[in-house]
Structure 1
Amino acid sequence: MFTHRKPSLVNTSSVSERSQVPANVHLWSADLVVPITAPSVLGGAVAVLNGRIEHIGSRDWVIATLRERGMTYTETHVPGVLLPGFVNAHTHLQYTNMAEVGLRQYDGFPSWMAAFDAIYDAGPLDWETSAAQGAEYMLRYGATCVADVVTDPEAASALHDAGLHGVAYWEVMGYSNEEWAQRGVSSVHSALEKMPTPPAIGISPHAPYSLEVAPLLEIPDLARRRGLRLHIHLGEAQMEARWDDVEGGAALADLWRNEKSASFTSIRQAGVGFSATEFVDQLGVLGPDCHIAHGVYMTADDRRRLRARSTAVALCPRSNAVIGLDEPPVAAYLSEGNLIAVGTDSLSSSPSLDILEDVALLYDIARRQGYGSSDLSRRLLQAATLGGATALGLATGQHRVGQLQAGALADMVVVDVPVTDVMSTIECVVREGAGRQVATIIEGQLRYAATNFPHDDVAGHSADSSVFPTHTVKG
């Protein structure tokens, strides 16, 4: 069905010709190229050298530039749209084998958690194989960079083994203050040391309600001393929302230090109305090196806090719908200028790992909530690419992704939709592109290709010259 190997494309040049080529340039041309960080190009092309983008622009300009430099190239023309690889900014690949849970409909967290726990606790489950299958789905659906939350160590190598970019976050949950002091820090350090790199590793304090104050206070410092990123579920459960109908009591800055308030849950039980976002902000969790998942139950002040801390939110609307939660405030996030990304969550709470399914639902939600600007499709496509890269700290620097620009890693996806004008085509990708990803390229290497166009299931194979015709041109 899928392959982890990096197949070579058909190259019609002879051995003697190839021996004279100063550099192995591969030219990917498409009906429309969408760089995200630059204007889109009808009839565009991307020249790739040693896994990085060498040139991008109109096909004629890129070819002329290569010839001026005395470079030969192998060209692959793909129908449809060539985009940066998608960044799935929140998932749990290890739960891929729990798909039966995500195919049902629930009326809230208690009923969903009961269904989840029934399978998780029954065990044993093959987390390694399950996570590897999830990584295959990432390739199938055009995700080249992933924020994967790892709960069991057997699943820790999924991104590494699949050659995907991103961050594998070790999840920390269930610690009381006492347990954390006794064994928490050493346990986390031990788990991090065993996680393979690349890609990057990070820490995910699960949620405000699953950890007491001490670990939530110390984990951010632990991560930052090691130069690791943070990721937390926040504003997903209704109990995390601000309760305006109760007294605030003492200032939150004083309240969480009170020995009677060992956790967010105990503060809630005391009848205090502060939101979970206010709570973790006081503990120093939020920041530009942290992104949150879900962000459903967020007041205007909560969203302001995220902006003030330069903290991105990965929206996972299909997961929210399966569990029976409210819709995230998409229109408010867009109108107010929050940093947004897109995640699928796992198959335990979502019907598929196709990020474009979530993008299409975000479009519908934003329109229902009153967002009327014509830039909606463009902004959501940016959220699924550059927005996710920003959330994971991979939007700049030598290993940047989520964009097509010179020097960036050549991570790309091809979506086979009709190409007309730029705006209409981008809207088509956003609203109708799910399931139409036909090629996934990581560092210039074809990692997934559909058997034919269009193709509705998840079968795939390595490159085929009848699907991706290539030819070699000497400059």
Structure 2
Amino acid sequence: MKLVIDGAAVSTVDAAGTEHATGHVIVVDGRIQAVGGGAAPKGLDAHYVDGRECLLTPGFVNTHHHLYQWATRGYAQQAILFEWLTELYPVWGRLDADIVHAAASAGLTRLAQTGCTTAADHHYVFPSNGGDVFAALVSAGERVGIRLHAIRGSMDRGVSHGGLPPDNIVETIDGALAGTADAIGKYHDPAFDSMIRVAVGPCSPFSVSEELMRRGAELARSMNVRMHTHLAETVEEEQQCLAEFGCTPLEYAERLGWLGGDSWFAHGIHFSDSAVEKLASTRTGVTHCPSSNSRLGAGIARTADLLGAGAPVGLGVDGAASHEDGGLLQELRQAMYLARQRGGPAALSAREALRIATIGGARVLGREKEIGSIEPGKLADLALWRLDGFEHAGIADPVAALVLGPVPPLALLTVGGRPVVTDGQLTGVDEEQLAAELRVASRRLAER
């Protein structure tokens, strides 16, 4: 039950930004017991891992995803968001539990391969004849072994009521709320070392009624869970909100009770100065999804401005249908590059990008006391990156090598001290089998 990682460069991402050129971490019973510079004490009754030529970071936190979309990669390649959704909603309406499990297992595997130890997944499509797709998502999390924040999404506003999704894949308000309450009751675990938590997640202003948004917030607070939705992703969304409700998306969310430290929004691209300040003052979180935003041409989020104002900001991979790579480490570099497109080369540093991906994401999910940095007492969710290959040779700064260089192999990824990836391979998961399952699932969905 003891693990020692010795000899690695260590980026703790604590409040002081402590780093050790050569350091060690001692893990006991799934929690970090000690972290420091120099060599670890010898002779401990523990499993020692040689960290020389490696960088040790906290495990990454993915704060927004749609894992079921791994079954529909490659669709709508030149579409803006609304066009992309219009093409894909009818396809997703034919999902079933087996397809969701295969897609989610593959997506979580890819996340783990790229340093992710906690993933928030927003699932909002519940076909009437698809079986228990939420249970399929939860079982995929258990199969791969990283922490899962399963967001029970919902849509009640179909095309006949001015929404985007087809009427056959939306729920009634009461049905959506009952399904959400049931998911919370079955799966939500508030414990410090929880492997699964559930959040309330009406999909977006253009697929959900005012009543469902308002009652969803009330349900989340009555059951003491967090809440999540898409917001301010495109200019078309803002235009629709202004025309329909006479306000911006953030003003609309505030009207319906969606601002606060228990809420976070995906994308958040089109925020005014006053909106940025409002998010910061209310401690409302924002997930930055740089690759998905770029794939759909949605715009460049004001990441540096949000951070400067003090708003919680995390990274999100988003669905693989709008980010076919599906990896998380790549988002650090992409976030940094897009921030610099807005604000110049000093807008966001490699270390700031690492902070967003770790303690920033933990803060967005309300778990900054548990995960997101390498500090005594926290859970041992750790990523040990090998930087000894020719791809990183000569880069003296290991954090720069990680963020700016090619994706390095993982020597070790642990969740609560338990190995999930060892020498680049997932433990307990057959990747070839996962690939075969995903091919079958994608083909079945396309044929339907």
TM-score, normalising length from structure 1? 0.77
Distance 2:406 2:35 in 1: 23
1:31 aligned onto 2:8: yes
Match of residue 219 from structure 1: 216
Q: Which of 155, 173, 179 is the matching residue for 2:155?
A: 173
Matches within 5 A, 1:416-427: 416-417=386-387, 424-427=397-400
Match of residue 208 from structure 1: 205
3-state SS of the aligned residue for 1:446? strand
3-state SS of the aligned residue for 1:326? coil
Look up the equivalent residue of 1:221 and give its one-letter code. E
Q: 1:426 offset after TM fit, Å?
A: 1.4
Q: 1:374 offset after TM fit, Å?
A: 8.0
Q: Which of 342, 353, 365 is the matching residue for 1:392?
A: 365
Q: 1:181 offset after TM fit, Å?
A: 5.7
1:185 aligned onto 2:164: no
Distance 2:89 2:184 in 1: 25
Match of residue 265 from structure 2: 292
Q: Deviations over 1:290-317 (max 9, x none)?
A: 1111111111122111111101211001
Distance 1:29 1:291 in 2: 37
Distance 2:254 2:387 in 1: 43
Match of residue 97 from structure 1: 71
Q: 1:371 offset after TM fit, Å?
A: 4.3
Q: Deviations over 1:359-404 (max 9, x none)?
A: 11111111221244386211110000001111111111xxx01111
Structure 1's 190 and 446: CA in aligned 2 closer, same or farther, altered over 3 A? closer
Contact 1:156 1:196 in 2 (8 A): no
Look up the equivalent residue of 1:112 and give its one-letter code. W
3-state SS of the aligned residue for 2:208? coil
Q: Deviations over 1:313-332 (max 9, x none)?
A: 11001111112211212332
Q: Deviations over 1:29-54 (max 9, x none)?
A: 24311110041111111001111111
Q: Deviations over 1:85-105 (max 9, x none)?
A: 00011111222222233xx63
- Over the matched positions of the two proteins, sequence identity in percent amounts to 22
1:413 aligned onto 2:383: yes
Distance 1:373 1:113 in 2: 35
Contact 1:166 1:392 in 2 (8 A): no
Contact 1:312 1:340 in 2 (8 A): yes
3-state SS of the aligned residue for 1:90? coil
Look up the equivalent residue of 1:188 and give its one-letter code. T
Bigger-Rg structure (1/2): 1
Structure 1's 222 and 123: CA in aligned 2 closer, same or farther, altered over 3 A? closer
Match of residue 49 from structure 1: 28
Q: 1:108 offset after TM fit, Å?
A: 0.8
Unpaired runs of at least 5, structure 1: 1-23, 244-263, 452-458, 464-475
Matches within 5 A, 1:93-132: 93-101=67-75, 105-124=77-96, 126-132=99-105
Q: 1:122 offset after TM fit, Å?
A: 4.5
Out of 194-203 and 417-426, give the one that drifted further.
Answer: 417-426
Structure 1's 193 and 130: CA in aligned 2 closer, same or farther, altered over 3 A? same
Matches within 5 A, 1:64-75: 71-75=44-48
Distance 1:421 1:34 in 2: 19
Structure 1's 123 and 203: CA in aligned 2 closer, same or farther, altered over 3 A? closer
Q: Which of 61, 75, 86 is the matching residue for 2:60?
A: 86
Match of residue 341 from structure 2: 368
3-state SS of the aligned residue for 1:407? coil
Match of residue 20 from structure 1: none
The number of aligned residues is 398
Q: 1:340 offset after TM fit, Å?
A: 1.1
Q: 1:156 offset after TM fit, Å?
A: 3.4
Distance 1:281 1:315 in 2: 20
Structure 1's 144 and 123: CA in aligned 2 closer, same or farther, altered over 3 A? closer
Q: 1:349 offset after TM fit, Å?
A: 0.9
Match of residue 16 from structure 1: none
Q: Which of 410, 425, 435 is the matching residue for 1:437?
A: 410
Q: 1:161 offset after TM fit, Å?
A: 3.8
Contact 2:187 2:196 in 1 (8 A): no
3-state SS of the aligned residue for 1:126? helix
3-state SS of the aligned residue for 1:91? coil
Contact 1:175 1:184 in 2 (8 A): no
Structure 1's 182 and 406: CA in aligned 2 closer, same or farther, altered over 3 A? closer
Matches within 5 A, 1:127-276: 127-151=100-124, 152-153=133-134, 154-175=136-157, 182-195=174-187, 197=189, 198-241=195-238, 268-269=243-244, 272=246, 274-276=247-249
Unpaired runs of at least 5, structure 2: 125-132, 162-170, 190-194, 430-448
Look up the equivalent residue of 1:325 and give its one-letter code. A
Distance 1:392 1:132 in 2: 22
